[in-house]
Amino acid sequence: MPEKVVNQIPVAKIDANQLAVERTDLALDRNYYAAERTLMAWIRTALSMISFGFAIGKLKQVADVEFKGIWRSHSVSVTNLAYFLVVTGTVALLGAAFQHWRRLRELNRMGLPTRISITFYVAVVLVLVGAFAFTALVSAV
């Protein structure tokens, strides 16, 4: 009967400690990629909010939008809605980038080799874009 092979090493020659290290390394990799995917999801959400808010702020075709609540109605201007979306998207992305950075630091302390996270740098650039979008909206008023 042929000998079972794991990672090009026959199973009979694998040390139990080596298997534990490989499993830990794979778990750290999975956690790293999960953190990257989570930040990418935040980038998509925040970028949608920022761009939608900026577009609404630049169009200004409607003077007021009325939201009818349970107890009373609230009148909100399109400009305020645009500000809200841009600021919320920017702050959410800033918080997600900080959370991602902290998670990667934690994984590095657990033994994950230091890696360059392109996703993190994209998030930081988009936070700056959100800040510029907000200043463009404010200066246009």
Instruction: List, for residues 114-130, the tens digit of each pLDDT value.
Output: 999 999 999 999 999 99
Contact (CB, 8 A) for 108 and 32:
no
Instruction: List, for residues 47-59, the tens digit of each pLDDT value.
Output: 999 999 999 888 7
Tokens 């920022």 locate to 50
**Least confident window among 9-13, 87-91, 99-103:** 9-13
**CB atoms near residue 35 (< 10 Å):** 21
Q: Which residue has the higher pLDDT, 73 or 14?
A: 73
Residue 108 has pLDDT above 90, yes or no: yes
In degrees, to the nearest 5, what angle opens at C-alpha 65 toward C-alphas 59 and 71?
160
Residue 67's beta-bridge partner residues? Answer: 74
Contact (CB, 8 A) for 48 and 89:
yes
